[in-house]
Chain A
């Protein structure tokens, strides 16, 4: 970044840690950006005339006489229609060899939408995956993460969802992404001929971890631009938010803050909420939907990151390998879409809520039967039937390679009910049974 002539240059650093450095300076604003020997840094603490800077790329090699220049602004992104189809790093600088973006410079991490100006989300996002559309329907303006172990194919499912979702813009925020995954997304997008609808902000595993703190705000600032200015439906993909949280933990540790659960900063909930709450349905038609990934360690959802995330997001999607059918399925027990009530049975056929609940209940009965079987007990006729149902249900509906519309999904479910059960065993309202059982 070029230094302007009238800017004051400081050259006396008093303290350096792994991620921060401090110096004496006056007239500095909180959150303001600075460069330290050309490296970007941000003000995180001011005590009297002592200013502490967080250096995004780390402080290795920074000497005590490094040149520090304050830029008089907090991190910004230039927004314009030119963003579409482009790839950027965490600072919003192009990494695809293209030209710089011309446009209005806006501060990232800006204010939140007044709750009374929001509209209630009501538009269904169809993904064709029954584990999502049937059991955990997504709605535009929603925020929902995949809770997945690192070896699960969440990036593939997410890319599928993104391609089928019919969004006007797809914004990818990659944090601590492997280079291979980054290229995978790039490939999927360009093979689908969708590159002009995509904006990407990518921090790969090769980049310094602290930089990725900027990625969600960059992605969401550009999302707000398209959703608020052009009333577009914007889908934001954030992968992986656990890497983001790890970066938060690094910074708070360097600043001597007392860690709370799992060495995470005490403000983790607020930090994550600030990002996820950018998901919104604007009254003018534009919307921001966030689909994120939170990787788990050994499936542990009580860890601070998935736990806090679960309290913020509107549900979560779990992937699981079903050994009975040898495929990855969307786990119907632990997955949840909180906003599905706004569309199921309203935007979809009226039997949707009851069919959804009945099939999950029967699937739960099958799980009990399986436990019984594994413990060596005799199975009843009902147990046998639930087991057979579960297998069909899993392969015909829950598997992630399913691609149906919701009416087809409901018909498949009724077909399975009829094949294995009597009407009184499924616990569905009589008038719906009367209407659909015969079909």
Chain B
């Protein structure tokens, strides 16, 4: 029998229900008010008072309104047909909704029940399979998707029957399994999974080591992220968080990209809707939208659904990882998610932690980042979820709870800095504060030596040292004046400026400069390091400044030119001539 409840109190989107039967923490219920069915989630139970957070506006809700419990937690529906979809935080298909304005209580099915998928079986009758085993595959947007044994299946089952290759709908039975107790289990293409429970259907989670190419020099060269890695981008507003995140999502070498717009601007999501269907994936040549799923819970959409949206996105990512795919998950911004938690905790009158955030914020964040990672599946294949979240620290102050707690768990830190943004040095990633822990992993070093070159990491470390030294000298020049330091100091300073302008800075809006493939990054790195190793002769600091400004200008023109084009080569030639003018020793 379903448990029912009646509304006994309303404060904004927190509603109290008196219930007549058993309810579970995080169970979903629907409250009926003036013809609308409002979805809500249980967040606290005291006696027969059940506190629920409603995912929609509670305007007009009255005491006595009826609620019906569903017996399950918030779930996502997974299956073929999700790629290039635009969902809200609760996985409603936004394109299926009617009208320009969102209607309260309108829920749409995330999959297409009529579409036919060409199914090719992988297993045969008599095979032993466990949960998440690959039974067969279908193709969506040229991506091979696996149809799997239900995630909830317990123990080892035997394949009793499996359909022949052919076209089927998501709800058609494609296999019958016999479970350990001898019962038949019908399997179709749909999986369901509660979003707040991590999907741990893998053998092990080894340390990640494979570089994930993003085409952004300050990431790939300076602070690389790996497949299955985690990173975060904190920064005050206006420092380019979103531009950087969009650049990564456009260019990253991933099979599936999931963008969770969590409490951010609707126009930014519109930008993705508008541009991604036109843009081409630099790695496969197909349209970007074909590999992308957008979870849009923009800032004006209900707050409670904002919390759900990041979990929805993560669960969808886990689904694709189970198929052995490389998934990139981006969440913009995790601070809005934390704020949603704060609003609820406040309404429940919980004792607040730092900055009025809930006390368990740290645990919530680390559990969430912990769901990402590189995994070895039971069948020996591998899959990964690379997770990059942005953080919007209040007042740009990195000593606030969300940034601090994220820093404890994320392995890459891309600190965006107001000062650099003010100087239009984009991407405004602070070269000294930022880090990638992966660069210290021996597995990663091994991989880079084999696949790129064995000097790479040494050179990157040298860049970092030079940036640090450049900053120190700049401070000294500020105090002592241009004349107060030796000419050599100016040379060292300008070498760090060269690194800054040529490697770190990148024009995300220029067709060529926006994406730098790895081989080109290697060439620039070698070129800049070679110049840094050279000794130059100057009479005074004015000569240094003029000379290096010229050099930077040439390098920038080179960055704007098509790789290996005539124009590119001509700038290289000019650069070599310029270097030869004053170079006295290598």
Q: Across the interface, which residues of A come within 8 angstroms of B422, CB to CB?
A: 333-334, 364
Task: Tell me whether A120 and B263 are in contact (CB under 8 A).
Answer: no
A28 near B: Cβ within 8 Å? yes
B271 partner, pick from A46, A47, A120, A315, beta carbons under 8 A: A120
A116 partner, pick from B94, B104, B236, B542, beta carbons under 8 A: B94
A80 near B: Cβ within 8 Å? no
Count residues of B near A (Cβ-Cβ below 8 Å). 73
A336 partner, pick from B9, B100, B238, B271, beta carbons under 8 A: B238
Task: Tell me whether B237 and A269 are in contact (CB under 8 A).
Answer: no
Q: How far is the CB of A254 from chain B (nearest CB, A)?
A: 14
Q: Which of chain A's residues has its CB closest to B58's CB?
A: A30
Q: How far is the CB of B294 from chain A (nearest CB, A)?
A: 9
B60 partner, pick from A74, A114, A364, A424, beta carbons under 8 A: A74
Instruction: Kindly state the interface size class of chain A when it binds its partner.
Output: 35 or more
Task: Tell me whether A31 and B59 are in contact (CB under 8 A).
Answer: yes
Task: Tell me whether B355 and A114 are in contact (CB under 8 A).
Answer: no
Interface positions of A from 333 to 366, Cβ below 8 Å from B: 333-334, 336, 338-339, 341, 353, 357, 360-361, 364
Task: Tell me whether A430 and B557 are in contact (CB under 8 A).
Answer: yes
CB-CB contacts of B295-331 with A at 8 A, as 1s and 0s? 0101111010000000000000000000000000000
Q: How far is the CB of B546 from chain A (nearest CB, A)?
A: 8
Task: Tell me whether A29 and B60 are in contact (CB under 8 A).
Answer: yes
Task: Tell me whether B101 and A112 are in contact (CB under 8 A).
Answer: yes
Task: Tell me whether A120 and B269 are in contact (CB under 8 A).
Answer: no
Q: Across the interface, which residues of B come within 8 angstroms of A380, CB to CB?
A: 482, 542, 545
Instruction: Give the complex CA separation of A242 and B113 in angstroms.
Output: 49
Task: Tell me whether B299 and A425 are in contact (CB under 8 A).
Answer: no
B556 near A: Cβ within 8 Å? yes
Task: Tell me whether A113 and B101 are in contact (CB under 8 A).
Answer: yes
Q: Identify the stretch in A11-19, A206-214, A306-314, A396-404 within 8 Å (CB) of chain B at 4 or more residues.
A: A306-314
Q: How far is the CB of B441 from chain A (nearest CB, A)?
A: 34
Task: Tell me whether B336 and A269 are in contact (CB under 8 A).
Answer: yes
B172 near A: Cβ within 8 Å? no
A226 near B: Cβ within 8 Å? no
Interface positions of B from 4 to 56, Cβ below 8 Å from A: 8-12, 16
Instruction: Give the complex CA separation of A113 and B556 in angstroms.
Output: 42
A304 near B: Cβ within 8 Å? yes
- Can you show 25 pairs from A to B with CB atoms below 8 A apart? A30-B59, A74-B60, A111-B103, A112-B300, A113-B266, A118-B266, A120-B270, A141-B267, A258-B352, A259-B356, A269-B263, A277-B298, A302-B396, A307-B394, A307-B396, A311-B237, A312-B299, A315-B238, A361-B423, A371-B478, A372-B481, A378-B482, A378-B483, A424-B549, A429-B560
B: residues with CB less than 8 A from A are 8-12, 16, 57-64, 86, 94-95, 97, 99-104, 236-238, 263, 265-267, 269-271, 273-274, 296, 298-301, 303, 333, 336, 339, 342-343, 346, 352, 355-356, 392, 394-397, 422-424, 478, 481-483, 509, 542, 545, 549-550, 552-553, 556-557, 560
A: residues with CB less than 8 A from B are 26-32, 44-49, 74, 107, 110-121, 141-142, 228, 257-261, 266-267, 269-270, 273-274, 277-280, 282-283, 301-304, 307-308, 310-312, 314-316, 333-334, 336, 338-339, 341, 353, 357, 360-361, 364, 371-372, 375, 377-378, 380-382, 424-425, 427, 429-430
